[in-house]
Structures are given as structure tokens and as C-alpha cells.
Chains A and B, each alone.
Chain A
Amino acid sequence: MRFILRRLGFLLLSLWAAATINFVLPRLMPGNPAILMIGRFKGQISPKALHALELQFGVTNTPLWSQYLTYLNHLVHGQWGLSLTYYPVPVSRIIAQSLPWTLGLVGVATVLSVFIGVMLGIFTAWHRGGKWDAILPTMSTFTAALPYFWLALILLYLLGYLWHWFPMAHAYSSTLTPAFTLPFISNMLYHAVLPALTIVISSIGGWLLGMRNNMVQTLGEDYVLFGEARGLKSNRLMFQYAARNAILPSMTGFAMAIGFVVGGALLTEVVFSYPGLGYQLLAAVQNEDYPLMQGLFLIIAFSVLVANFLVELLYGKLDPRTRGGASQ
């Protein structure tokens, strides 16, 4: 219970930190960039919206702390301002439309990549020094170094443009309307194959290498040797004895890995014009649509933080040592 509370405390603290970064950044920059943006949109949007923008980005004479309190208040109540690119659509609606695409794509791709990566890591560590131990880790160091967006471009060129195996862009065919019907879902999955493949190929190497190295460590432990001496079946030894203990340190790396994967996925979306958060983020940046950019950054950071929180809870469940406090 105390462990959960501590993790929850950290989640809230990091959420607050992300929100504060969002508040501070435009005000910290030399010559507040928001002034330029507001000047650009003068006359194009209603005076009320203009005033709201001025408040949101600190182009007022009100003291900083009261700006900050208003900002937090608006944030909590879901008033994230109006997008300028899609004026007058609220930022929250654009986020609500694009978040499911990113969550689906990144979620499925990450689960696949973790599962396959960890399994291959177990396999190579078990046969360490063998043929596959020479090939797979070297290959995964190469794929881990591939830039996501470049791999996406290459896959797009080969499988989309040259061989016509997969569609070249978008999340579903423009002739279909989103619905829970078999043709739409299959069409959607068909469009998701290339982006998901990009994410899996780029991120699988890290899981494989991490798992292999941890597994090599646990295979050197005395209890594995003892288990072998007792004549345990190799399957049991491999999964119940070695892999189970080796997988724990892999999960602490999740914090950085998930942030990295999400970053890569955003670029992948840009290449495939996939209507998720990354695609919208680029549109926001290109149009200097700061309200949308702020909202997208927050929701991306929030999702990553919550994902981390859930994994930490799972980790606590798997490894009693991390819960701490009990022995003291």
C-alpha cells in the first residue's frame, strides 16, 4: 500500500512538473515567442479568443504567480484553449480525436516488440556463444540505431511505392467512414501494418539486448547451476529460474524506453500521415499554433507518465524487493 502511495505521489509530482515546464517554456524564451504569434493572428480571430491567448502565454501585466494559478486551474478543468490551425476548434477536441490512433498504434507495437524482443533475448542468452548469439545482438544493435523516420521512409518506398503491398498513407481509406464494422476494422489494420512494423523493428533491439545481458548474468548465478545439477528440465530452468529473474531489470529501463518509442512513433506518424498526436504536433509546430502544441505536449507527457506508473505497479507486484519499507 505504501509502495502504491509513493508511486502515486511520484506520478502526481511528475505530472505537475510536465505542466510547469509547459507554463515556463514560452515565458523563458528570449522575446516571448507568443507575442509574435499573437501579432500574426490579430484580426483573424475574435477579440475574446485573442485575449484568452494573451492570458495563456503571459502577454499581460498580471503577476506571474496569478498567471500560473489561472493556468493550472484551466488545465485541471480541461480548458486547453482554442487551436489556431483549426480555429475555432478547442484543443481538447483535436486531442480526443488523435489520441486513440497514437495509443492504439504505439500500444500494440510496443507489446509486440517487448514480447518478441524478450523471447529472442532469452533464446540468445541460453545459446550464448553460439551462432545466433553472434547474429541477433549485432543485428539488433544495427536496428536500434536506425532512425525511426528513415526506416519508415524506406519501408514506405519498398513495400508501399515499389511493390504496392501496403497503402502509402493515412489510417483508413478515405472512401470509408469510421464504424465498428468488419470492412472498416480490417481496412484500418491494413493501414496500420507499416507504421507498426516500423516501430517494432526500431525498438525490438533494445529489448533483445537488455534481456540477453540480464539473462547472461542470471545464468551465471549459483541457483541456476544448482538447478541444472539437480537435473531440471531446460525449459523450466530457462523460464522459471533464469528469465523470471532477468526480466525485472529490463522493466526499470521501461521509463526511458517508452519515452523513446513514443518519440519515434510521433515521427513515424508524420511519415505515414497517420492522424495521431505526432502528425498534429508537426502541424502545430509548422503553423506556430502554440495552444495546440502545448496541449499535445502535455497529453503525450501525461500518457507516458501514466504508462510508467502502471509498469511500476506491475513491477512492484513481480518483485517484492522494490516495495521496500517492510523490513525497516
Chain B
Amino acid sequence: MSQAAHTDAEQAAVQAPVKRSSRWKEWSGILKRDKRPLVGIVILLLFMLSAAFAPLLTPYNPSATQFTPLAAPSWHHWLGTTASGQDVWSQFLYGGRISLSVGFFAGFIATALAVILGMLPSYLGGWIDTTMATFTNIMLVIPGLPLLIVITAYVHQTGPVTIALVIGLTGWAWGARILRAQTLSLSRRDFVIASRLAGETQWRVLIGEILPNMLSLVVANLVFATIAAILAEASLEFLGLGNPSVVTWGTMLYWADTGQALLNGAWWWIVPPGLAIALVGLSLSLINFGVDQVSNPRLRLNKVKVARKPRKGAPS
């Protein structure tokens, strides 16, 4: 009895680090061959850090209206000022805080829902699965942005939190559909059947066997849901459906549009927030190139050099 427990623990101790290091090797191997995910991580970190350390990077309050209106970029105001005399650079930094938080929060909610609504019914099967699959397909084809516009129009007084919740609660369908398909395919594999035959409970099979094997899909889904959420948030706020007194990248564009920034030639007011949204989206997509290569090895950039290297300790 104790002997058995001992060997079990020993085996686990031996196996765990091997497994982890092999996964690490896989990731670092991909990063070595393909620099795009690394560039993505750097860009994303840059935006996150500049948002987090906004007070150190700018002396001005983003809402203070004390400066000359519509001043072009200068040494004092790196990105100029708005029509009501706010500093665009401070708005840009502080706005990133809320835009990024809303994006990641909504992306996280959508992914969590996608995991639950995608995995559970497909594993339980039967009429629950059929109903849920149909429901997911319907949610998938109903256009998202018009639905968001209608919901936020009814809600009134929408702050960033409400917007994040609404985006998260409506944006899970795509992920749920992909994860459902993957769960179905995995639950017919030998290792899942084996663990089921070994007497594992459904929950353990689901969380211990199936989920870890589609982790890269979950991460990819998180990445896409976050991009979509940042875009949706900016769109809603641009239409004036957010709280215009909260400074975000979306409300900056709303004020720039209502303040006739274009007709005044104030490009410095319009370019930074949109470019930031696009760059954050780009960085997340670049990171996803790496995630994709974990789940789909055919997409990996193969170079002959790597293949020629003699592998030590490879099974013969």
C-alpha cells in the first residue's frame, strides 16, 4: 500500500517536470522560429505599462480643461490639446487604462462562458447538447454590434463596467462553437475513453483530460474575444452610448467627432486613440500567431536547420 503510494508520488514527481519542460520547449521553439508573437508581447506590454504608470508619464489631469484649445503638438503638449483644452497625451494614457481593462474583462467573461457553454453540453450530450448547439448557432448569426447598440440604448447610463458586461455576455458564441467541436472530437480519443474506463468521474475527465488538451484553443479564444471587445467598446462609445465623461479611447474619438476635429485639422486628436486600438489589436493577433502554432503544428514555420540537429535521447 505504502509502496504503491510511494511509487505513484515518485512517478508524478518525475513526470511533472518533464511535461512542463517539454511544453516550455515547445513554446520557446516556436518563439525562436517566429518572432511575431514576441513583437506582439512587447507592444502589448508597452501599452499596459504606459497605462499603468500614466501619472509618471504626464503631469496633467486628463479631464482638466485649462489649456489653449486645439493647440498642435508641442513640447508642452506632446499630442496637442482638444477643443475644450484638454491634454491629448494624458487622455491617451489614462484612457488606455479603462479601454484595456474593459477589453480584457469582457474578453475573459466571453471566454469563460464559451468554455462552460461549449464544453459542458457537448460532453453531457443528448437533448441538452442539441438545444445548446442550436442556441449557440443562433447567437452566432445574430449580428453583434446592432444587438449591443440596442441593449445599451435601453440600459441608459452605461458606464465602462456595464459595457464590459454586455459585451462579455453577448460575445461567447464563436468560442463556444469551436470548443464544442473540439470537446466532441477529444471525447472520442483513446486517452479519454481510457480514463473513463478507469473510473474517473465526468468532471475529472472534463477538467483533467479534455480541458488541458485544448488550452491553446481557449487562449486563442481569449485573444480574439479581447480584440473584439476592445473594438466593440470603442464603437459603442464613439456612438455616444457610453458615459462620455469617462476618459477612454472610445470617448476620445466621440468628443473628437462631435468637436469637429477633422474640420479644424486636429489630426492629433483623432489619430492616437484609433491607432492605439489598432496596435493593441495587432499585438494580440501577433501573440495569437504563436498560440495557433501550438494547436496546429502545420502552421509552424519549419526551417531545415532545426530538423537536421541530432536529437539527444530521442526514442529510437
**Chain A residues within CB distance 8 Å of chain B:** 10, 13-14, 17-18, 21-22, 25-26, 29, 33, 129, 138, 141-142, 144-151, 153-154, 156-157, 161, 213, 216-217, 220, 255-256, 258-260, 262-264, 266-267, 270-271, 281-282, 285-286, 288, 290, 293-294, 296-297, 300-301, 304-305, 308
Contacts and interface: CB of A to CB of B under 8 A. Distances in A.
Contacts of A149: 235, 238, 253
B234 to A, nearest CB: 5
A267 B235 contact: yes
A281 B145 CA distance: 11
B241 to A, nearest CB: 7
A154 B240 CA distance: 19
A149 B144 CA distance: 16
Given A26-B154, A150-B270, A263-B235, A145 B142 contact: no
B36 to A, nearest CB: 7
B159 to A, nearest CB: 15
Interface in B251-274: 253, 256-257, 262-263, 265, 267, 270-271, 273-274
Contacts of A129: 301
Interface in B156-174: 156, 174
Interface string B206-249: 00000000000000000000010001001100111100000000
A17 B154 contact: no
A33 B151 CA distance: 11
A263 B144 contact: yes
Given A129-B301, A281-B146, A150 B155 contact: no
Contact of A259 (B141, B151, B262, B299): B141
A304 B147 contact: no
B315 interface: no
Contact of A145 (B36, B147, B277, B292): B277
Given A217-B298, A256-B140, 11 more contacts: A10-B134, A14-B138, A14-B141, A25-B151, A29-B154, A129-B301, A141-B285, A142-B282, A145-B231, A145-B278, A300-B143
Nearest to A285: B153
Nearest to A284: B153
Contact of B146 (A10, A263, A288): A263
A111 to B, nearest CB: 18
Contact of A297 (B150, B253, B263, B298): B150
Contacts of B257: 153, 271
Interface string B4-21: 000000000000000000
A297 B284 CA distance: 31
A85 B278 CA distance: 35
Interface in B127-150: 134, 137-138, 140-147, 149-150
Interface residues of chain A: helix, strand, loop or mixed (majority): helix
29 contacts: A13-B138, A26-B154, A138-B286, A141-B282, A141-B286, A145-B277, A146-B281, A150-B270, A150-B278, A151-B274, A153-B257, A153-B262, A156-B262, A157-B262, A216-B298, A216-B299, A260-B143, A260-B144, A262-B145, A263-B144, A266-B145, A267-B235, A267-B239, A285-B149, A285-B239, A297-B150, A300-B146, A305-B142, A308-B141
B303 to A, nearest CB: 9
Contact of B299 (A213, A288, A301, A304): A213
A111 B256 CA distance: 32
Interface string B50-65: 0000000000000000
Interface in B81-95: none
Given A161-B262, A256-B140, A297-B150, A154 B239 contact: no
Interface of B: 36, 134, 137-138, 140-147, 149-151, 153-156, 174, 227, 231, 234-235, 238-241, 253, 256-257, 262-263, 265, 267, 270-271, 273-274, 277-282, 284-286, 289, 292, 298-299, 301
Contacts of A259: 141-145
A4 B202 CA distance: 37
Contact of A150 (B138, B146, B253, B263): B253
Instruction: List the 5 closest A-B pairs by CB distance, nearest first.
Output: A145-B281, A263-B145, A150-B274, A259-B143, A141-B285
B154 A33 contact: yes
A304 B142 contact: yes
B103 to A, nearest CB: 12
Contacts of A282: 239
A157 B261 CA distance: 10
Contact of B143 (A13, A17, A25, A301): A301
Contacts of B143: 258-260, 262-263, 300-301, 304
B298 to A, nearest CB: 6
B270 A145 contact: no
A29 to B, nearest CB: 5
